[in-house]
């Protein structure tokens, strides 16, 4: 479990995170939702140690994040950021090889190659494995980074808007894949999502944020109500029940 207490973060006088207290459960898909500028990415970055927090504490399985070495952390959690600007020309297969870095330190064994190949297949990248990253489309590149995080084989997977750039097929297969990792490999997933329907369809837990604060959190089935979501986004949102699945209608 990841416990977050009194977490605050400000940059250039702007309060991005304002006293966050929440926890993320193991073995679940937790969706971070909320309007733009709510601080979702920053929270994810703080957990993944991409941003240095000002005050507060993050504990993972009872251990303060500050006391975990970078190597241990890399085996504990994999993070895929939202903006994947990479200047260097790296082949897809080499990128996945770097996903094995926390385990293999650059000396890839047969086990590592097996994991890399299965990650390539899993994310529909086998044909692209020898392409350079700068020769891929946005969605393909996104998949390459997701595959790298998969190859990292960490307990926790932190994904910042992974559905960006993905088409219907790959978006759905990504979510199904995350579900499979949770149920079959006991992984835990924290994912920033903007698409409410994906959230309703796949997330076990929701942490809803606005203005750097947690507005509500809990199991999707109990907290995701029409009123709560409408209030969160300041937009009328209707929840429709279609054959037992909930859908959000907010388009018009």
Partner 1 sequence: MPIAYFATVIGLLALGTGSLFLGAQDLSLPQVWQDPGALQLIAISRLPRTLAALLTGASMAVAGVIMQLLVRNRFVEPGTTGTNEAAMIGLLAVTLLAPGLPLFVQMLVAAAAALLGTLGFLQLTRRLPPQQPLLVPLVGLIYAGVLYSVATFIAYQTDLIQYIGIWMSGEFSGILAGRYELLWLAGILSILVYFTADQFTLAGLGRGLAVSLGLRYGQVLSLGVATVSMVSALVIVTVGTLPFVGLVVPNVVSRMMGDNLRQSLPVVAGLGGGLVLACDMLGRVIRHPYEIPAGTIFGVLGAIVFLTLLLGRRSHV
Residues near partner 1 (CB under 8 A) are: 45, 48-50, 69-75, 77-79, 81, 85-91, 94-95, 98-99, 101-102, 105-106, 132, 152
Query: Least distance in Å: CB of 151 to partner 1?
Result: 11
Partners of 4 in the β-ladder: 22, 58
Report the residue number, 72 or 167, with the smaller CB distance to partner 1.
72
Chain position carrying tokens 């000002």 = 54
Query: Least distance in Å: CB of 17 to partner 1?
Result: 17
Query: Least distance in Å: CB of 127 to partner 1?
Result: 18
Report the residue number, 79 or 239, with the smaller CB distance to partner 1.
79
CA distances (Å), origin 244, targets 5, 32, 227, 228: 36, 23, 19, 20
Distance CA 142, CA 125 (A): 11
Report the residue number, 101 or 250, with the smaller CB distance to partner 1.
101
CA distances (Å), origin 160, targets 108, 146, 219, 239: 28, 10, 20, 25
Query: Least distance in Å: CB of 132 to partner 1?
Result: 6
The answer to whether the beta carbons of residues 17 and 39 sit under 8 Å apart is yes
Structure tokens at 238: 């209707």
Report the residue number, 10 or 71, with the smaller CB distance to partner 1.
71
Query: Least distance in Å: CB of 23 to partner 1?
Result: 21
Report the residue number, 105 or 252, with the smaller CB distance to partner 1.
105
Question: Which distant-in-sequence residues (6+ apart) come within 8 Å of 38 by Cβ?
Answer: 209, 210, 211, 212
Distance CA 41, CA 48 (A): 10
Query: Least distance in Å: CB of 77 to partner 1?
Result: 8
Report the residue number, 108 or 223, with the smaller CB distance to partner 1.
108
Tell me phi and psi for residue 216, to 5 degrees: -155, 160
State the burial class of residue 47 (Cβ atoms within 10 Å of its Cβ: 0-12, 13-18, 19+): buried
Report the residue number, 49 or 179, with the smaller CB distance to partner 1.
49
Question: Which distant-in-sequence residues (6+ apart) come within 8 Å of 145 by Cβ?
Answer: 80, 84, 95
The answer to whether the beta carbons of residues 53 and 9 sit under 8 Å apart is yes
Query: Least distance in Å: CB of 94 to partner 1?
Result: 5
């Amino acid at each position: 479990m990841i416990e977050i207490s009194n977490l605050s973060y400000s940059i250039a006088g702007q309060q991005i995170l304002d006293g966050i207290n929440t926890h993320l459960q193991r073995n679940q898909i937790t969706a971070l939702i909320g309007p733009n500028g709510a601080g979702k990415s920053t929270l994810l970055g703080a957990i993944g140690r991409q941003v240095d927090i000002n005050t507060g504490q993050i504990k993972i399985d009872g251990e303060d994040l500050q006391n975990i070495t970078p190597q241990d952390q890399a085996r504990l959690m994999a993070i895929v950021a939202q903006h994947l600007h990479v200047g260097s020309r790296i082949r897809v297969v080499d990128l996945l090889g770097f996903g094995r870095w926390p385990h293999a330190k650059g000396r890839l064994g047969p086990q590592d190659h097996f994991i890399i190949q299965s990650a390539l297949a899993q994310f529909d990248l086998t044909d692209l494995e020898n392409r350079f990253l700068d020769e891929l489309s946005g969605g393909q590149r996104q998949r390459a980074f997701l595959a790298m995080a998969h190859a990292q084989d960490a307990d926790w997977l932190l994904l910042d808007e992974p559905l960006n750039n993905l088409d219907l097929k790959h978006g759905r297969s990504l979510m199904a894949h995350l579900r499979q990792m949770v149920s079959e490999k006991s992984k835990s997933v924290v994912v920033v999502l903007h698409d409410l329907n994906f959230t309703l369809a796949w997330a076990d837990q929701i942490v809803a944020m606005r203005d750097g604060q947690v507005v509500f959190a809990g199991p999707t089935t109990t907290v995701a109500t029409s009123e709560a979501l409408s209030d969160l986004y300041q937009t009328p949102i209707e929840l429709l029940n279609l054959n037992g699945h909930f859908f959000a209608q907010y388009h018009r």
